[in-house]
Structure formats: structure tokens, C-alpha cells
Amino acid sequence: MGKFTGKTVLITGSSRGIGACIAKAFGKEGATVVVNYLQNDSAAEEVAAECTELGGDAWTIKADVTSEDAVNSMMEEILLETGKIDVVVNNAFKPYSFNPDKRKLSWELKWEDYQSQLDGALRSTYYVCQAVTPVMKKQADGSIVNMVTDLIERPTVPYLDYATAKSAIVGFSRNLAAELGPFGIRVNCVAPGLIYPTAASYDTKEEVKEMIITQTPLRRIGSPEDVAGPVLFLASDWSKFMTGQTLFADGGLVMK
């Protein structure tokens, strides 16, 4: 029996990359996985099929998590299907390219650039957390894991708009953890370093990767699989006395 057998797990933005890897890791542990996605139907169906093949159960829900109505409809569908939500992983974010040569510098960024990232990261996380809170309060149990970045502690390359939005999620998560703790709901974050390969890191040049590798104690770039473990840990009873924390999954680049 898997660690998450009988548990319902929602992962936003999980049709590819880190989200897909997290979904499959939960599937392997026997979870009922909800693969949320925005555009790619076939990719989402493929992830759900793999979750099932690995020993879990899964289905897909197409929903724009920056829309409050879409999030509420998604929650209703999950509750109709399973009657509960044990774990939420807020992984969806607005597409971003980690290319130092093409990034906007601080004096080139407009407020709209920041707002765009805040909407893609914080707004979607807020809507999902807001919608799942009554469910988890009723259960007197639940784990929320929000995906952030090690750039909030160590701006290896200053991606200001992206890192600012992710920093806001950390503050939001800590305050939410304090608010929801008395109801048995835990809220934590996972902060990966550069993860390759993903759509966001395809344009990261080799010299940048080499620079990060030489500064990383474990001397390599992270893979999506390296992020799944910390997420499953924070979602499980192994971390049942942890809330308001941020785990850095970056090979030791950030040590806290």
C-alpha cells in the first residue's frame, strides 16, 4: 500500500515539467491525483494515465487557476467525485523563461510585468487556498504545499518580477499557516533551484548552468524528480508537526 492510498491530491499546472513529475510521484504512492492544466489536453491525459499505471488513480480538470469561478468549479467537481481534498500543491505559474540575456533589468521592468507574475503565482495560489479552506476545515486535516524558488534567498540571476511574486507566496503561506494551524491544516513551501529540463529552463545557457553547478555543494543541476520528494514529505504525516516552513531543494545553494 502506498503512502497516499485513499488520499485525494490536487496539483495545479501538472500537465508537464515539475508538476507532472509531482503528480506521478503521488500516483506511485497510491493517491487519487487531480491533474489540473490550462491548455494541453493530450499531455494532461498522458500524465493521468501514467499516474494510474504507477498504482494510483487520476483524472484531469482543465481550469484557469487565475479565475476564481474556474477554481470554484474545479473544487466542486473534485468534491462531487471524491468527497474530500487531502493535499493541494500550488504549482501553476505564468510561463517564464530563465534566460539571463533576455531578462528585463530593474529599470526596464514596468509595474505590469510585476502584476503579471503576481497574477500568475500569488493570485492563483490565493484562489485555490481560499476555495479549499472550507473543505479542509471540515475535515480538520489537510496539507497545502506552495511552490516558490530559491531566488528569494539567493538571487543567482536577478529575475525581479518572478522572484517578487514568489516571495509574496512565502509571506502569504506563513501567515496562512498561522491562521489555519488551529484547524489541523498545514501550509508549507518548496523552493527549487534551477531545474532542468523544464519549459522555463530550456533557454538557460550552458555557462549559466555551469556557474550554478560550481556554486552548488552537490555539484549538479536539479531534475524535476528532485523536487517531488520534498513535496511528498511536506504532504505526508512524516511532516505532521511542520507548518509555515520553506524547504530548499537546490543542492545546498541556499542553506538555512
- Distance of alpha carbon 16 from the chain centroid: 12
Evaluate the omega torsion of the peptide bond into residue 217 and state whether it is cis, within 30 degrees of 0: no
Q: Residue 230's pLDDT is what?
A: 97
Q: Residue 200's pLDDT is what?
A: 57
Report the alpha-carbon distance of residue 186 to residue 177 in Å, rounded.
6
Q: H or E segment at 124?
A: helix 124-139
Active site residue 37: no
Single out the catalytic residue among 37, 96, 127, 162.
162
pTM as predicted:
0.95
Q: Residue 206's pLDDT is what?
A: 80
Domains in the chain, start-ordered, CATH in brackets? 8-249 (3.40.50.720)
Q: What are the average pLDDT values for consecutive 10-residue runs of the chain, which has 256 residues?
A: 94 95 98 96 97 97 97 98 97 84 92 95 97 98 97 94 96 98 98 77 72 91 93 98 97 93
φ, ψ for residue 54, nearest 5 deg: -80, -10
Q: Residue 195's pLDDT is what?
A: 81
